[in-house]
Amino acid sequence: MSLTPELTHALTPHVASGMPPGAGDALRALIARWREDPGATYRTWFLWEERVKNFRSIRRGIQAVVREIEAGTFGNAYRGSSLETVVHSVAEQRQLFKGADHAWLWKPKLRIPDIYESPENQRAFGRFLDTCVCCSTEEQVLTAVRRLDALGIKGLGPTAANLMYFLHPTLVPPFNTAMVTGYNALTGAKVKLGSWEHYLAMRAGVLELNARYRDLLSNDLGAVAGLLFDVGSGRYPAPPRADDAAARAAWEADLARVRDDSAKDAKALAAARESDRTHTEVQGWLRDLGRALGYAVWVAANDRTRPFGDGRLADGCLDALPAPLAGAPGADAVKLIDVLWLERDAAGAPTGRVAGAFEVEHTTSIYSGIVRMLDLALGAPDAAVTHLFLVAPDGREDDVRAQLARPAFSRVSDLRVRYLPYGELERHRETMARFGTGMKAVEAVARTLV
- Report the pLDDT value the prediction gives residue 20, as an integer from 0 to 100: 52
Residue 409 sits at the vertex; the CA angle it makes with 408 and 415, to the nearest 5 degrees, is 155
**pLDDT in 10s for each residue of the chain, 450 residues:** 555 554 555 555 555 444 554 566 889 989 999 999 988 999 989 998 778 878 888 998 899 999 999 999 999 989 888 898 889 889 888 889 988 899 999 998 889 999 999 999 999 999 999 999 999 999 999 999 999 999 999 999 999 999 999 999 999 999 999 999 999 999 989 999 889 999 999 999 999 999 999 999 999 999 999 999 999 998 888 888 766 676 667 766 766 666 545 545 555 544 444 455 588 899 999 999 999 999 999 999 888 888 888 899 999 999 999 988 888 877 888 888 999 999 999 999 998 889 999 999 876 567 777 778 877 877 766 556 778 899 988 888 887 787 777 766 766 666 778 889 999 999 999 999 998 888 988 998 998 876
- Report the pLDDT value the prediction gives residue 330, as an integer from 0 to 100: 75
Kindly report the number of other CB atoms within 10 A of residue 131's CB atom. 17
Give burial (CB, 10 Å; 0-12/13-18/19+) of 439: middle
Global pTM reads: 0.74
Q: Find out whether 447 and 419 touch, Cβ atoms under 8 Å.
A: yes
d(CA 107, CA 67): 24
Q: Nearest CA to 184 among 11, 2, 378, 425?
A: 11
d(CA 354, CA 325): 9
Q: Which helix (H) or strand (E) holds 155?
A: none
Domain range summary for the chain, segments of one domain joined by +: 5-232, 274-448
| Contacts of residue 15, Cβ cutoff 8 Å, sequence gap at least 6 | 187, 189, 205, 208, 209, 212
- Report the pLDDT value the prediction gives residue 282, as an integer from 0 to 100: 93
Distance of CA 89 to the CA centre of its chain: 7
What is the b/e burial string over 286-314, where b = at least 16 CB atoms within 10 angstroms of the residue's CB? bbbbbeebebbbbbbeebeebebeeeebb
Kindly report the number of other CB atoms within 10 A of residue 327's CB atom. 12
Q: What is the DSSP letter of 160?
A: G
According to DSSP, the residues that pair with 340 across neighbouring strands are 298, 357
CA distances (Å), 108 to each of 100, 115, 126, 152, in order? Answer: 19, 11, 21, 18
d(CA 81, CA 11): 36
Residue 313, phi then psi, degrees to nearest 5: -60, -35
Kindly report the number of other CB atoms within 10 A of residue 315's CB atom. 13
Residue 107, phi then psi, degrees to nearest 5: -115, 90
Residue 320, phi then psi, degrees to nearest 5: -150, 150
d(CA 147, CA 325): 40
The identity of residue 91, as a single letter, is A
Q: What is the DSSP letter of 45?
A: I
